[in-house]
Structure 1
Amino acid sequence: MTATMEMLQKLQKELTCGICRSYFSQPVTIGCGHSFCQACLSLCWRAGVSVSCCPECRQVSQGGEFPAINEQLAQLTELGKEFCFQLLQRTKEGNHCATHNQVFKLFCEDDQALLCGRCCQTPEHEAHKISPIEEAAHNCREKLQNIQSHLWRGLEDAEKLLVQKRPVDTWQWTISIEFCKLQSLLMSEENKCLQRVREEQQATQERLFQHQENLHDLKGKLQRSGHQPNLELLQNAKQLLTVLSQRPIPEMREYAIPGMIEMLRRFQVDITLDSTSASPSLTVSEDLKSVKAGEGWQVDTKHVEVSACHYVFAEQTFSSDKYYFEVDVTQLPQWVLGIHNSHLRTRSDFYASVFLLRCVKKKEDFYLESYPRALNHRVKGPVPRIGVYLDFQAGILAFYNVLQNSLIYKFQYISLVENITPIFSPGPPLPETKDGSMILCPAHLCTCCHLSC
């Protein structure tokens, strides 16, 4: 048995390619006498330094042409494979069925199992495809040969891609060009916006000069009125007092910044209301996503602008990083929105630890005010959706008009400590009006939903 196995190993070695270590496939023989698979030698010579160098002994072959297929060695290889297979089948233990003690002569294609004559008669193999072992082995070799050919082609393609390196370079160049175009578009929009700011500043300055001249003129009239007779003074007093009571309030300018809101939504968080923190005069919805003024909120009709505000806190607290959320105030003519330092929530000095933006309606006009700081601007109409951006590292709290894609007001360089909590107030409500709810917008709200509001 040992001598037979040694002969089998020697025969297999003679019929084996020195490159792929498998039986020859379309073998070729070079000048030094060594033989290799045609595909193996072709790939080796393309990757090597010397085209005519033997991969096994490194001897340089004479002649520059690629050797032709050695037909005799190819036939000998096929005969040798079959002989080795048969010899291995005769000498290898376990070549018979353990159940029926018969030699395996058949192969089940469905179960990929060797069968004896009695195995194929059992019910479990009755409907299966059964083939003689020689036929099944031949088919298996062909499949393996096809797989090997595909692998060689795959290796050749991979080699070409590694040599070219073109796709990566092309994508890098393409992405760089796209970013350059985006930067160019943003710079163009920035220049347009800055030009508009300069023009409006010039117009504002001219109005201020005109207002200054009017004040000088009024000052002269007041000085002259002191020398007027009593009757004439009283007749002109109403007009003078009316002019004196008029105080110009700046109007809020809207400068759209393309892509700003889309960029901020990268930091958008989903927040809910803490119903246990709500003032008794507020009503929080069951889903904790909206709040409205209740009947218990009494408003001083004589001094609406100084009426007390009642608040509800968010359940979430912020301690670091960047955060962004949006609030729908479409149903409210007046509201307050901002942040509060949570660890001071129960203290009496509430306004010492808050930053707020407030909308107030006076007659037909709307005004936006900040606390603290001195923002007091009139707006053309109510702002339906407010975006709030908080940046701990930069010390920034900013409020945005979401639908106009513009900045309303920014608190800068403020000291932000841990446990910052958003706060909300849907009022104070206007007398004899039925106000709606302040609604927290979900973080997954898509752009089309925003634009449709």
Structure 2
Amino acid sequence: MVEDSRCAICLDFMRESATTECGHNFCQSCLQKAWEDSQDIFHCPLCWHPFRERHWTVNSKLARMIDVIQLLHSSKTEMRQKEPQLCERHNQELSLFCVEDKEVLCLAYVELPDHQDHHVKSTEEATSHYRQMINDFIGFLMKHIGGIQKCETRQNKKLQELRMQVRKHRWKLATEFWRKIEFVDRAEEAAFSRRAEEERSIQQSLSTNIIAFQNHICTMDALLKEVAEKSVMPQLKMLSEAGMIHQRYTRLDPPALYSFQLRKEKFSLPPLDSTLGKIVQKFRTELTLDPHTAHSHMYISKDKHSVRVRKKMGAVFQRQPRFLFNLVVLSTKDFHCGRHYWEVQVNDKPRWAIGLCSHFPSSRGQQKQPLSVLNRRWTIQLQHGDYVAQGACPVPLALKEQLRGIGIYLDYEVG
């Protein structure tokens, strides 16, 4: 293990270890110096394997192992030079260890009532036992940290997987919406917004979990260093802290892996193979205008298919349902279920509004207000040369050509 921790170039313990693509380890500074005269081809200083790029990876696990080995190696001589310690009370060498009380004792203490029935070992035997336990703990910690690093890598891959899946779902949704008719654009925008919110939520959870893994690794690194330092303590001091070491050894609960599954988007739209002609043929509904709901300034044709504003205002009998303050007229037919399609021709009119409402509003006593805010409504309007879709909030529409007709598709169950 000591030989593996030495740089093959300088033959000293590796400083900031770098691993080449062929798997050999060197000091970063030694590797940089070995490659400083190379331009097109870079060779491994050990096996002479060629590389096209000056590239290496940082081996953090090896760096931690080297730190531990250096600490163990540099402390062995100091441990051997320590003189035996004497009991302050009896002035005898502390050569025994009480397993029950985890205390270092001299021979005189064994005769006392407090330790007569206890299991007592020599300090050499006890030290060997706890040193082996610590060495096992060091190995376990290094393996544990390696496992946590793999979990962190897997969690980072989950983050990338999330982004790839979201991009895939977004592309799929975009393709589906593109093949449908134009008025479902608002449904596409809403679906993307929900997906983005879901992505932000999952990404936040994944990022939080990754930070938890990183914090756990930092804690394990600190614990590894602390245990490594304790492993080279003088035997009496190490044995005096044996209880604490055992307690720390049993408290290693890593964070749980966080998994996710994107919510499947549910919507009800025309089939993917539907063309506008098929939609018109399958769901076309003929509507007529209801003169009884028309504003008094509006004239309805005899066939009830067209409307215009009166140039001369005459006396009109005011029926209860008639709109009093808005230039509005409703259809004679209303819908309570199913899918329906109809068209409205606007030709070259400079100002108009077409839409749907959830139910017939009460008009008596109304104050004048925009069409879009009367009860629950959705409209598309041409006002002052601008097209606007008006629902809960106005959405400007950027159209390349002037509209001369509007096709309206209603799916009652979807709303």
Query: If each structure's strand is expressed as a fraction of its own residues, which one has the higher value?
Result: 1
TM-score by length of 2: 0.30
Higher-Rg structure is 1
TM-score by length of 1: 0.28
Question: Of the two structures, which has the highest relative contact order with CA contacts closer than 8 Å and spacing of 6 or more?
Answer: 1
